[in-house]
Structure 1
């Protein structure tokens, strides 16, 4: 673990794995520190921001230094079900790379349970872990200038869905009609770290 100061009121905690990120994030949430303003988990880091002028950063540091990073988060996660049509432009490429048929790719991807490890890239974009090993493939050599909203892709150890149209280099295997981000909702982002996600084949 390495702690890096980010300005007067934030710390960036560098960790060795997604599992450690989840454990530290859960420990900080459970501590309910009154002056903690924001927690931003990522693939190998957690950004901790405290109320300016408070002792929140010192309190957070004490939690960080005493956290058991080998302990899985103790949580009761929500389960989110996303409808998906497997008709993405890279579906055949993913199947060929994995040495599978398209039907086997669909079965593997829709049969797995995923966890939202962290959110980023765009509002509402969740990086989902739990992708079956054969589907863990590199990004496209040339990213697309525009990926349609709702596109579901795979890249490395992650799968995820694009909340809005944007550039992107993930291999696209399908699309969902779920609204992943809506600023008019009380909770604009549909997915949050720790949520469990299932893809359900749309008929």
Structure 2
């Protein structure tokens, strides 16, 4: 990976984004997560928030913490350059968690299950096997609090999202969008192909770590019968 191939740009008057391009790449995401942890460790007093994504990271800063004549672009660039050098020497996966999540792949809970199977000309058991056989990386959280974007699914079940989103998707719905898979932490509108559902709570605002899944985590799904889901 070429660490010099990035763009740094302002997002309004109190944030900068370091962007390695619009792509889903595990190696780039590994580095982004390492950089995220390094910036957390450094805990600069002017940094209000650090937001990692697939291939970018955004620093939100307190503009009032700088003098009027300060060049914030130079300060943030130096902050990121120093952190990048240190992050490049660390292993982001040294603290990786593996989270196992039970999913019920029953047509009554998964309105797109049979459609996706028909599209790929496979049966439900094959789809379940393909979805549960892989370990998925959490690339980022977004869209909703606790919504983890994970990938990548087997190409044999990769399916484009709906052209027109549903007005409401039930909480816990497990979906596919292209090569991504994810779980809706709340009932909300959404356009992903729904192939299952889990009862696991992905977001708890009362917790010190509200989002159960964090960038860099690894997730394994396993199938449960509908009787266990309803228990």
Q: One fold, TM greater than 0.5?
A: yes
| Higher helix fraction (1 or 2) | 2
Question: After TM superposition, which residue ranges in structure 1, 4 or more long, deviate above 4 angstroms?
Answer: 64-69
Q: Cα distance, 1:156 vs. partner?
A: 1.1
- Asked if 2 retains the 8 angstrom alpha-carbon contact of 1:49 and 1:57, the reply is no
Q: Which one of the candidate residues 58, 63, 71 is aligned to 2:82?
A: 63
Match of 2:182, SS state, is strand
Gaps of 5+ in 2: 1-5, 67-71, 226-231
3-12 or 56-65, which deviates more = 56-65
Task: Report deviation, 1:177.
Answer: 0.3
RMSD, matched Cα: 2.4
Aligned twin of 1:167: 189
Between the aligned partners of 1:33 and 1:58, the Cα distance in structure 2 is 15
Number of equivalences: 203
The 8 Å contact of residues 38 and 86 in structure 2, kept in 1 or not, is answered as: no
Gaps of at least 5 residues in structure 1 are none
Q: 1:72 offset after TM fit, Å?
A: 6.9
Give the superposition deviation at 1:201. Answer: 1.1
Report 1:166-185 matches (<5 A). Answer: 166-185=188-207
User: Counting strand residues as a fraction of each chain, which structure ranks higher?
Assistant: 1
Is 1:34 paired with 2:43? yes
**1:140 counterpart = 2:162:** yes
Partner of 2:94: 75
* Larger deviation, residues 57-66 vs 42-51: 57-66
* CA drift at 1:178: 0.1
Q: What is the TM-score with the length of structure 2 in the denominator?
A: 0.79
Please, what TM-score do these two structures have when normalized by structure 1? Answer: 0.89
Output one character per residue of 1:25-45: Cα deviation in whole Å (capped at 9) or x when no partner. 312422522214322122342
